[in-house]
Amino acid sequence: MLKDVTFGQYYPADSFIHRMDARVKLLLCLLFMVGIFFVTSFAGFAFITVFLITLIASSRIPLRSILKSVKGIIVLLLLTVILNIFFTKTGTLLCKWWIFEIYDGGLYFAAKMFLRLTYLVVGSSVLTLTTTPVDLTHAIESLLKPLKVIKVPVHEIALIMSLTLSLIPGLIDETDRIIRAQKARGANFDTGGLVKRVKAFVPILIPLLVGGFRRAEELANAMNSRCYEGSNKRTQMRIMKLSWRDFVATFIALLFFVTVFVVYGMQSKWATADVGWLYINGVNWLYF
């Protein structure tokens, strides 16, 4: 079950996305996260879906790896959908039972939030699956270099983020081994009430914490034995350089999201304009 978590894992492949500069990928991912909240219609989400399918196909990442990342937040997605359905009271009342009321506006808003969260996870998964933790560290450090002027420890911050990403797969594997070992000893994690299940996970958390501290100590000793001294006079074995791939990808992404922002900004004007060609069965699909 825990092996389904793909966050922090790198999928090696020889693709256009893998060869891009990590700094460009990181900036475009941030742009995607911001731009997804400007999409207000299902037609726009269909546009985003085509974009993501094209992105995943060009990265040569198996679709099951992307779906595993979404599977890890399925509980959060369901909780978000349920809360929005029952607490968003806009539009036409569809049904009412006891104190619960469901409006069509709540259903629309819940569906849009579901798509936003799903696409956010998919976009960030493409970034981590096509970029090694080392490249991400160098990208973050390079982008934050201007903050060194105000004495911000940029290298240390990037190193912490890199170590966090690199240790996540190891902790997931160790947790899975501990769970299988406890089940072999007769432990049961799938039955009983909530309190019983929480107590059943205590024998997992203790060895997991011990193993995490052991890994941290081993890593610290390894860094000390190699005379690591922080960011003082450090160099990089591979210098990051922009290529034609980065310019092409940036142009395509900017063109895509400029279109999204223009559509969002022109919404108030088009709402009062004659756009009959956008109506199908009485529904304005541009803003539905």
Enumerate the domain spans of the chain.
Answer: 2-131+243-284
Lowest mean pLDDT among 87-91, 151-155, 178-182, 187-191: 187-191
Q: Which of 122-126, 201-205, 206-210, 214-218 has the lowest mean pLDDT?
A: 201-205
Calculate the alpha carbon distances from 286 to 33, 114, 220 in Å.
21, 19, 55
pTM given for the model: 0.72
Per DSSP, the residues of 176-191 read HHHHHHHHHTT---SS
Q: How far is CA 104 from CA 107, 191, 281, in A?
A: 5, 37, 17
Percent over 70 (pLDDT), the chain: 82
* Cβ atoms 16, 245 nearer than 8 A: yes
What are the beta bridge partners of residue 102? Answer: 95
What is the spatial distance between Cα 202 and Cα 9, in angstroms, rounded to a whole number?
27
Q: How far, in Å, CA of 32 to CA of 26, rounded?
A: 10
Q: Length of the chain, please?
A: 288
Dump pLDDT digits (tens) for 263-282.
665 555 544 444 444 444 44
Residue carrying structure tokens 């990181």: 26
245 half-sphere exposure, CB direction, 13 A CA radius? 14
Cα dist. 263→32, 35, 36, 268 in Å? 16, 12, 13, 10
Band of residue 284 on the pLDDT scale cut at 50, 70, 90: very low
Which tens digit of pLDDT belongs to each residue from 28-39?
A: 888 888 888 888
Decide if 7 contacts 72 (C-beta within 8 A).
yes
Q: What are the tokens at 157?
A: 């911050």
